[in-house]
Structure 1
Amino acid sequence: MKHLLIKCIVASVVCLIGMLNCFEKEVVKDNLELLSSTTEFSDELFFAYPKYIADTGVSLVITDLNDSKIVEVDYSGKLIRTYGQKGRGPGEYLMPSNPIMANDLLYISDAGNAKILTFESNGSFNNEIKISDPILEFTTNGEYLYAFTFNSVDDRLIKKYSMNGEFINSFGKLETTEETSLNNITKLVIYNNELWVLHLYFPILKIYSLDGELIQKYNLSNAFDYSERFNQSKEKPKYSNVSGQKVIYQSITMNKDGIYLGIYDPSNNNIIADHFNFDVIPITRYRYTSNDEKIYHFHSVLVDSTLYVAGADTEPGLFIFNKTD
């Protein structure tokens, strides 16, 4: 009986080691294949800083933060239409960003005019919602607006508004711990009636209810090589000391296969997307390494097995990659 127990223990240990080895193999980087890049455009598709890209379900919408432009392209990168124009009037914008589809409308935030614009699917202007503070990030489920604004950095992070722009409440206190100081949000995403919040400078992912109750908080420090590449001082950091050079994430995409985080990698010629399951356990790192010019990763979205990156090499543009698995 004793020998049988020992054999069972040994078998269990061997099995566990095997599982760990499989897990290590799963998180080893995979290659992304560059299918095409479009950096030479007509006047309508000339980009200065294509900061955001979103999937409408039938096409892609790209917003240029510096050149004040909103364009819709098909999945091959061909121009379909433009939305609105630069300015301060109805249907006009100065700093368009955060394209979101809800209620069959395209929502665009405009920090330059402190408002959110809505457009019909044919490109025509629908309405605009005035917000008291300029918006840095926002999302909507068509019933409420959730935003991180320029004035959110005092003691709270997320503000909830009605669809008319009336302030309802705020939640998600700014917090500082011995290891991390949490400030700018990089993305707000509503998925399965929950608000997912990805932080810009530190590997922190939070999930809130739509009423603002914290459901779960994940520290991703041990996922992939985040700790090695973005090591923070063990001394308690101050909010004002966080620099833009410590940016980790550029985007978050969710689909039936899990969560994909777009990674900012300024030190190497890499485009990176890290795949997690919905328990936020790392699965695979997808990577493309350029042998020529460095490709800057501004924002990305995953559609099926294709990764669309708004970025730049020698010129800003749209870069299309295919997952190889």
Structure 2
Amino acid sequence: MKKTYLLLFFIYMLSGTSCKDDTSHLPTVNLEKDLSINQLRDSSYISDIRSLFYYNGKYYASDYKRDQILILNENLELQKILGQKGKGPGELLGASDIYVYNDTIFVFNDSKRSFELFNSEEHLQTIDLLSQHSFSSGMRFAVNNSEIYFSSFYSQYSISRYYYKLDSAQFFGRSTEYRTPRESRIKNKRHVHVLDSKIVAIADCQPFIDVYTLAGEFVTSFDLSSIDQIKKIIEYVERNNYAENSYFQFFPESYVCEDNIFILITTVGKNDEKYKNTLLELELEGDAIKPVRLLNLGDGWFKSFCISGNKIVAFNGSTAELIRYDY
């Protein structure tokens, strides 16, 4: 395991850029709650928010247990509920990851392996994955024009550019070969974002970010392993020597806003206690990524978040609360 990680770092150091030594120890900002809710205005309760997205003054939240999309205003007040649980056309069975593009809401329907499209009032369309797609829920995807970009390990590639109106796909993106085909598939997942006319792909169990053009051409890679908190994750993984076909998730969630990238990182404390309450903030400057700071969300086990201007909204799975922060 240790040799595998060392080889991986060496390859990415040669082909990309690493964080400089003076960014290994980043400042930490302890955020304070501005507002929190666990119950909606209709007296129903929030259950399991798997994905959050901010668009045009509203927060969109996918509740996996309720199988609904919640639309909230900036004060986290319920404005609209879309979708319902079921196996029928347009119904949801595992409302997972979400993206809003040109007023259209894209929701990954986990059990059906499809994207469901809604406007602010009703279901519009179902987009089924192609047979070669292997997208897993819990990974960010992005939409640009009539193309959906998402993590999908296929052959030697890690990302799919899905032309859903034509039912065709292009595959691109670097990947790493592991001991078995299954291990290669589960360890090459990416959170995929469109930012500044580029594709930003964040590996979820490897400490790097790849950048591509919208056409899928490789631009550069950024090694995050010099950051103190990420060093500790790597050391933890090496100590525990994870079994074949298993892995430890470094980065369970991410989001982009303006020129900034935010990553929810798993941190390791004393006695190997693990926490999911810290965001790593980075800034994209041209073709360079600069680590900025760490944002501590406080006690809890956080599962999803989004950014809007100077606000962060995050779902604390420990308390089933949506929490808003100033930052």
User: TM range, normalised to the smaller chain?
Assistant: 0.7 to 0.9
Deviation at 1:134, TM superposition (A): 6.2
> What SS is found at the alignment partner of 1:92?
coil
Distance 1:134 1:117, change over 3 A: farther
Partner of 1:89: 88
Distance 1:215 1:176, change over 3 A: same
TM-score, normalised to structure 1, is 0.78
TM-score, normalised to structure 2, is 0.78
Distance 1:25 1:305, change over 3 A: farther
CA distance in 1, matches of 2:31, 2:162: 39
Deviation at 1:72, TM superposition (A): 0.9
CA distance in 2, matches of 1:303, 1:97: 20
Structure 1 stretches lacking a partner, 5+ long: 1-19
Partner of 1:126: 124
Structural RMSD (CA): 3.1
After alignment, is 281-290 or 28-37 more displaced? 281-290
Partner of 2:5: none
> What SS is found at the alignment partner of 2:173?
strand
Alignment of 1:92-241 (within 5 A): 92-120=91-119, 122-132=120-130, 133=133, 135-136=135-136, 137=139, 138-149=141-152, 152=153, 155-164=156-165, 166-176=167-177, 183-231=187-235, 232-233=237-238, 240-241=245-246
Distance 1:36 1:268, change over 3 A: farther
Deviation at 1:174, TM superposition (A): 2.7
Alignment of 1:290-305 (within 5 A): 290=299, 295-305=300-310
> What SS is found at the alignment partner of 2:57?
coil
Deviation at 1:237, TM superposition (A): 8.0
After alignment, is 247-256 or 53-62 more displaced? 247-256
Question: What does the per-residue CA deviation read over 1:240-279, in whole Å, with 9 as the maximum and x for residues that have no partner?
Answer: 132xxx2222333333452222223473666212222212
Aligned residues: 291
Deviation at 1:26, TM superposition (A): 8.4
Larger radius of gyration: 1
CA distance in 2, matches of 1:30, 1:310: 19
Partner of 2:3: none
CA distance in 1, matches of 2:241, 2:34: 44
